[in-house]
């Protein structure tokens, strides 16, 4: 946590966000298993051409799973999805299944792959998932730097090369400068050989007290 944040003394009170706390046991020992199984189902749902009777059975099982989980919905910040730091994508199906390898004031580095679920066409990752990757990364970058809760004011992505599926990739981001409530950040997405696939820059703005 930065010196400025320590002086503020109210890091978790900025904006109208609920207080998020990491709880590795919140989902129990099988939560990671559930999330991965659901990711596989997502991959299969967009890449299979099953006969009608199989689709019918799959729909019934999906509806049964939804009915099983529905009674346990919880308020934001009280469920394990998004708070399970040890899981890819922090255990959130919305987030890409990437894992942070470095998280500090000097920057954030994460590794992962784009799966079949993320395909746009012709074997490449959908262009829309790259802004999601960068936006989520920039949230981690500002947090690791010690900045209070912030929202994305703008996000610009440069697509340098086709981003492949099922290929280990790396994304690195950092804070470039701070100006009052503004935090300017940038990041690069590369393959294992260091080839630049995309880069991005963004402006993150610290929320005012009570601001959603």
25 falls within a domain:
yes
Looking at residue 105, which CATH number applies to its domain? Answer: 3.10.129.10
Per residue in 165-196, pLDDT (tens digit) is 999 999 999 999 999 999 999 999 999 999 99
14 — phi, psi (to 5°)?
-75, 135
Per residue in 111-153, pLDDT (tens digit) is 999 999 999 989 999 999 999 999 999 999 999 999 999 999 9
95 falls within a domain:
yes
112 falls within a domain:
yes
Residue 134 vs residues 7, 81, 94, 156: alpha-carbon distances, Å? 29, 19, 13, 9
Q: In whole angstroms, what is the distance from residue 29 CA to residue 24 CA?
A: 9
177 falls within a domain:
yes
E strands along 160-208, which residues?
169-179, 182-191, 196-206
User: Burial code of 67-91, b = ≥16 C-beta within 10 A, e = fewer?
Assistant: eeeeeeeeeeeebbbbbbeebbbbb
Domain count, the chain: 1
Q: What is the pLDDT of residue 5?
A: 40
Q: What is the pLDDT of residue 145?
A: 96
């Amino acid at each position: 946590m930065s010196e400025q944040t320590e002086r503020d003394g109210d890091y978790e009170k900025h904006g109208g966000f609920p207080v998020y706390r990491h709880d590795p046991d919140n989902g129990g020992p099988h939560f990671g298993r559930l999330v991965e199984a659901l990711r596989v189902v997502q991959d299969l749902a967009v890449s299979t051409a099953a006969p009608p009777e199989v689709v019918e059975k799959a729909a019934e099982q999906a509806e049964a799973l939804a009915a099983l989980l529905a009674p346990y919905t919880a308020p934001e910040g009280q469920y394990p999805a998004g708070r399970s730091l040890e899981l890819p994508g922090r255990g959130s199906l919305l987030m890409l299944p990437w894992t942070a390898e470095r998280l500090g004031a000097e920057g954030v580095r994460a590794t992962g792959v784009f799966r079949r679920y993320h395909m746009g066409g012709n074997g490449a990752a959908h262009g829309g998932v790259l802004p999601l990757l960068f936006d989520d990364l920039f949230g981690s970058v500002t947090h690791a730097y010690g900045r209070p809760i912030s929202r994305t004011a703008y996000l610009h992505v440069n697509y340098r090369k086709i981003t492949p599926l099922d290929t280990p990739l790396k994304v690195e981001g950092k804070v470039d400068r701070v100006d009052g409530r503004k935090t300017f950040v940038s990041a690069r997405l590369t393959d294992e050989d260091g080839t630049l696939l995309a880069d991005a820059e963004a402006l993150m703005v610290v929320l005012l007290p009570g601001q959603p």
